Structure 1
Amino acid sequence: MNFEETESAAATSEDGAPGWRFAVAAGILGWVLDAFDFFVVVFLISELMGKFHVGKAAIVWSMTLTLAMRPIGALFFGALADRFGRKKPLIACVLYFSTVTVLSGLAPTYWVFLAMRLLYGLGMGGYWGIGASYAMESAPRHRRGVLSGLMQGGYPFGYLMAAIGMQTLAPAFGWQTMFFVGAGVTVVIVALAAFAPESAAWRMHRTPSLGKIFGTLFQHMGVFGYLLLLMTAITCLSHGTQDLYPDFLKTLPWMNGATVLGMKATLGIPVIYNVGAIIGAVVVGAMSERIGRRYAVIAALGVCLLAMPMWAFGGSVVAIVVGSYLMQSGVQGAFGVIPAHLNELAPDAIRGLFPGFVYQLGVLFASPVLPLQNLLRGKFGYPWALCSFETLVIVSLLLIFWFGPEKRGRSFHQTDRSEGLPSNVAGSVAAAVK
C-alpha cells in the first residue's frame, strides 16, 4: 500500500465511506439473485422429473451437488477478492453464475442439467463471501447488525420471488422462463458495483500474494474450526427447514384445493413464511446490535423450538401457516446475524476468503441433509423426519452459540489485537473482547 492509499484508508470514517450504499445494495441484491436461482429448482422438481424422465432423488441430488460445490467457489473467488479487491471479483462472479443459470434452463438432457447445476454451485459459493465482506466493510459500524439482517434476508427474499414467479411468470411464459428472468437483475448488480467505492478496509489490510493469503488462513485454524462447526449446524437448520418443505406440503391430503392469498396453498404458504423469514432476519440482526450476536441468535432459536409442533404436525392450513411463519422467522433471524458475526471474527487480511469459505464449507458438510431427510421420510414419514432432525440441530446450535466467541462492533479499519498472537494469548484477548 502506498502513502496516498494509506492516508485515504486511515481517513475512512466508521460511519461509512461515500457511496457505501451502492456496495451494500450490490451485496444484498446479488444474494437475492443467488437464492432465486437456487430455489427455482426446489419449485420445479416435478417439471424437471418430467422433462428428463428421472426420479425425485435425481433432482434432489442436483441440489445436493450445487451445495457441495460452493466451498470451491468461495475459496477461488474469495482469494481473488483478498488479492485484487472486492469490486471486480464480485462483478465476475455474478456474471458467471447468471450465465450458468440460463444454460441450466436450456439443458437438453439430465446430465447437461446436472453439470450446469454443479458449475452454478461455484458461483453461488463465491458470491456470498465477497458480497458479505464488501457490504460489512463498507457499512457504518453502528448499522452493521441491521444490514447483516438485510444481507441474509436476501436469501428468503429470493425464495419468495421464486414462489411468486411460479404463480405468475411460469404459467404465462413456461417454467423454463424461471431460469432466464434473473439476467436482467444481473445488469443492475453490475451497475451498482461499478458505482460503489472499493473497500477501504481491504486497501488497509490487503495481502501482497495468494501464498500469503492461504498462509494466513492456516494460521487461524482454531477459530476456523469453531466457525465450521457453527456453519455446518446452522446450514442444516436453514436447508433442512426450507428445501423439502414445499414438497412436504404437497403430501398433505387436505392441501388439495386449498388456497392461500389467492394462490394454491403449496405456493402461497412459502410466500407467507418467507415474509416472516425476511422480517426475522432484519429484526434479529438489529437486535444483535443491542444484546450481542450470540444472545440474539439464541433468542431466535427459541422461536424455532416453539414453532416446531405446528410446523411439522399442524393439522390445518392455518396451523401450518402460523408454524411455518414462526419457524422461518426464527431460522432466518438466527442466520441474519451471520454476515456480521463471521466478518467480525475473520482475520483482517483474508476477510474476502475466510467468512465465505467457512460458510460454504459448512454448506458442504451439511449437504447430505436433503438425502438424509428423504431417507428418514421413507422410514418415519415426513412430519417425524423433519421434527426429529431439526430439534437435534437446534439443541446443538444453542450449545455452540452459548459457549462461542463474539466481537460485536469490531472496527475493520484497525488491526485486531488478537491476530498473530500465540493461541493462548489470542484466546485471552478474544475472551476480553467477548
Structure 2
Amino acid sequence: MMNTVTDRRAVARQRTPLNRSQIAGFWGAWAGWTLDGMDSFIYALVLTPALTELLPRSGFAATPSNVGLAGSILFALFLVGWGLSFIWGPLADRFGRTKVLAATIFTFAIFTGLAATSTNVWQLGIYRFIAGVGIGGEWALAGTYVAEAWPEDRRKMGAGYLQTGYYAGFFLAAALNYTVGVHFGWRAMFLTGAVPVVVAILILLRVKEPEKWQKADAKTVRAKPLREILGPAYRRRTWVACILLTIAIIGLWAGAVYEPSAVIQLATRAGMSKGDSIRTASLATGLLSIGTILGCLALPPLAERIGRKMTLAVYFVGMAVSIAASFGWAFYLPNGLAPFIAWLFVLGFFGGNFALFSLWLPEQFETRVRATAFAFCTSFGRFVGAGVNFLLGAAVLHMQTLGVPVALTALVFVLGLFVIPFAPETRGETLPQ
C-alpha cells in the first residue's frame, strides 16, 4: 500500500511543467472566461431595474408580467447572438486560436459597455445581441486553446480549472452588484463589462498559438471543417454533442437567468426592503457560484475514474433533482427563502457539468476541425435554447408564477440520460492530432 501511494506521488511530481506561454495563455483564457461569465450574469442581476426604467420610455408599462416577458425576449435575442457565434470556430481553425479568442473578448466587452447608454429596450436588445455573438465564441476558443496548448497529462484538469472562470465571473458580478449596482445603478454595472478589453489586448501581445495548431499544414487548415463534422466520420458524435449541450444550456435558466429574480421575490415576500432583497440575491448568487466552482474542480478526477458518460449522467441527475427541489418545492414554501438558497448551492455544484464539455469535446475531434466542432455544438444548443426561452417566458406570463415553469426544465435532464449512451467514451485516450 505504501509503495502504491509513493508511486502516485511520484507520478504527480513528474507532470510535465508548463512553459511561460502556456501559463500566460491559460490565465488569459481563464480571465476572458471569467469576465464572460460576469458579463452574462450582469444582465440577469440588472434585468428588473433596467427594464423598469426602459419599458416606459419604449411605450410599455413596467408591470411585473411585462418585465418578465421583455426579459425573456431580450435573453432570447442574446441566445441568438450566442448561436451566431459559430462564425468564430472556422475563423479560429483558419487563422489561429489566440487572435480570434482576443476578437471575441473585444466584441463582448465593447457592446456590454455600450448597453449602459441604452435609452429604450430596443437599443438594449441590439447591444445584448452583439455582445452575445462575442460571448458565445469565447468558451469554444478558450476550451480549444487549453486542450491543445497544455500537455496531455495536464489538459484534463486544465479543462476543470478553465470552467471555474465562468462561475468566478458570476461571483464577481454578484460582488459588483452588491457594491456598485446597489449604489450606482444598472448602467454602472454594464460599464464594468467593458473592462475585458484589456484582457483581449494582453492575449494578442503575450500568448503564442498552440503547437498542435501550428503543426497543421496549410492544406489541412484550409479544409472545410463544417462539412467534415457533419460528414460520415463525425456526424453521430456531432449531433449527440449538440443535444447534450442543448440540455445543459437549458439548465442555465434555473442556475443563472431566473435565480436572482426568484430570490428577490422570496426576499420581498419575507418582508425585506428593495435594497436588502438585491443584496440577498447577490449573496445567493455568490453561494451558487462557489458550489459551481467546486463542481467544476470535482468533475475531471471523477471523469477519469468512472468515465465521461457516467460522470455526465451523475451531474444530469443532480441538476434534475436540484432544479425541481428549488423552483418546484422551496420556492412555494411559506418561508422558502432559506431552503431555496440552500438548494442553490446543490444546483450550482451540478451546474459544473459544463466543465465536462470543455474536457470531452476536444477529445472527440481532430485539430483541423476542433474549434469549428466546439463552436457548432455550443451554437446549436443556444439556438434551440432561444426558442425554449420564448416558451418559458410565455409560460411565466400565462401561469403568473416563476417556479413551476422553471421547475419543468428539470425534465430535459431526465431526457439527457437516454441520450448519453450514444456518445463516445474517450477516457484514457490522448487528444487526437
SS of the counterpart of 1:142?
coil
Distance, in Å, in 2 between the alignment partners of 1:229 and 1:352 is 18
| Deviant stretches of 4+, over 6 Å | 258-263
- Once the 2 structures are TM-superposed, how far is the Cα of residue 16 of structure 1 from its aligned partner? 5.3
1:356 corresponds to which of 364, 372, 375: 375
Task: Name the CA distance, whole Å, in 2 between partners of 1:207 and 1:115.
Answer: 37
Query: Is it true that 1:302 corresponds to 2:329 in the alignment?
Result: no
Farther-moved stretch of structure 1 (339-348 vs 150-159) = 150-159
| In 2: Cα distance, 1:121 partner to 1:323 partner | 29
Which of 24, 27, 48 in structure 1 is aligned with 2:26? 24
Q: Does 1:317 align with 2:337?
A: yes
For structure 2, which runs of at least 5 residues remain unmatched after alignment? Answer: 1-14, 61-65
Q: Is the 8 A contact 1:102 1:179 kept in 2?
A: yes
Matched position secondary structure for 2:154: helix
Matched, 1:169 2:175: no
Q: Does 1:336 align with 2:350?
A: no
Helix, strand or coil at the partner of 1:184: coil
Aligned to 2:195: 184
1:399 aligns with 2:410: no
Q: What's the TM-score, normalizing by structure 2? A: 0.84
Contact 2:324 2:408 in 1 (8 A): no
2:85 is the alignment partner of 1:65:
no
Contact 2:38 2:172 in 1 (8 A): yes
Report the 3-state secondary structure (helix = DSSP H, G, I; strand = E; otherwise coil) of the residue aligned with 1:300: helix
Aligned residue number for residue 264 of structure 2: 250
Task: Give secondary structure in 2 for the equivalent of 1:321.
Answer: helix
Instruction: Work out which of the residue numbers 212, 235, 245 in structure 2 matches 1:231.
Output: 245
What amino acid is the match of 2:306? Answer: I
2:119 paired with 1:119: no
Whether the aligned pair in 2 keeps the contact of 1:42 and 1:244 (CA below 8 Å) is yes
* Alpha-carbon spacing, 1:374–1:215, altered in 2? closer, same or farther (3 Å): closer
TM superposition shift of 1:411: 2.9
| CA offset digits 1:343-387 (Å, max 9, x no partner) | 111232111211122112111112233332233333283332222
**Equivalent residues, number:** 399
1:301/1:140 Cα in 2 relative to 1: closer, same or farther (>3 Å)? same
Q: For 2:296 and 2:132, how far apart are their aligned partners in 1? A: 24
The CA deviation at 1:133 is 0.4
Distance 1:369 1:274, change over 3 A: farther
Structure 1 residue 44 corresponds to structure 2 residue 46: yes
Change (3 A) 1:262 1:41: closer
Distance in structure 2 (CA, Å) of the matches to 1:260 and 1:298: 40
* Whole-angstrom distance in 2 between the partners of 1:264 and 1:275: 17
Match for residue 228 of structure 2 among 216, 241, 253: 216
Q: Which residue of 2 aligns with 1:6?
A: none
> Relative to 1, partners in 2 of residues 1:259 and 1:153: Cα closer, same or farther, differing over 3 Å?
farther
**1:166 Cα deviation after fit:** 0.9
What's 1:90 paired with?
101
Q: Give unpaired runs (5+ residues) of structure 1.
A: 1-12, 416-434
- CA–CA separation in structure 2 for the residues paired with 1:260 and 1:403: 48
User: Quick one: structure 1 residues 259 and 135, their matched pair in 2 at CA, closer, same or farther if it must change by over 3 Å?
Assistant: farther
3-state SS of paired residue (2:371): coil
Kept in 2, the 8 Å contact 1:82–1:207? The answer is no
Residue 189 (structure 1) shift? 4.5
> 1:182/1:48 Cα in 2 relative to 1: closer, same or farther (>3 Å)?
closer
Q: Distance in 1 between matches of 2:90 and 2:347?
A: 35
Q: Distance in 2 between matches of 1:223 and 1:207?
A: 26
Match of 2:11 in 1: none
Q: Bigger shift: 89-98 or 402-411? A: 402-411
Measured against aligned partners, the alpha-carbon deviations of 1:215-250 in whole angstroms (never above 9, x if no partner) come to: 323323222111111111111123344211221223
Q: 1:69 to 1:129 in 2, by over 3 A?
A: same
Q: Distance in 2 between matches of 1:224 and 1:340?
A: 15
Q: CA deviation at 1:160?
A: 1.8
Contact 1:18 1:197 in 2 (8 A): no
- Please say if residues 344 and 408 of structure 1, whose CA atoms lie closer than 8 Å, have aligned partners that are also in contact: no
Tell me the secondary structure at the aligned position of residue 408 of structure 1.
Answer: coil
Taking only aligned residues, the RMSD between alpha carbons, in angstroms, comes to 2.6
Q: Deviations over 1:233-275 (max 9, x none)?
A: 1111233442112212233354432899997323221111111
Q: Percent identity?
A: 21
User: Could you say what secondary structure the match of 1:44 adopts?
Assistant: helix
C-alpha change, 1:104 and 1:309, in structure 2 (3 Å) is: closer
AA partner of residue 50 (structure 1): T
Segment of structure 1 superposing worse, 365-374 or 59-68: 365-374
Which residue does 1:429 correspond to in 2?
none
How far apart are residue 51 of structure 1 and its match? 2.5
1:6-17 superposed matches below 5 A:
none
Q: Cα deviation per residue 1:191-228 (whole Å; 9 max; x = unaligned)?
A: 14532221111122355365533332332322211111
Inter-partner Cα distance in structure 1 for 2:291 and 2:407: 20
Q: Contact 1:67–1:121 at 8 Å: present in 2 too?
A: yes
Q: Name the CA distance, whole Å, in 2 between partners of 1:365 and 1:230.
A: 12
Shift, 1:20, TM fit: 1.0
Aligned-pair CA distance for 1:15: 6.1
SS at match of 2:195: helix
- Quickly say closer, same or farther: Cα 1:52–1:21, change in 2 above 3 A: same
Which residue of the other structure, out of 391, 409, 423, is the alignment partner of 1:389?
409
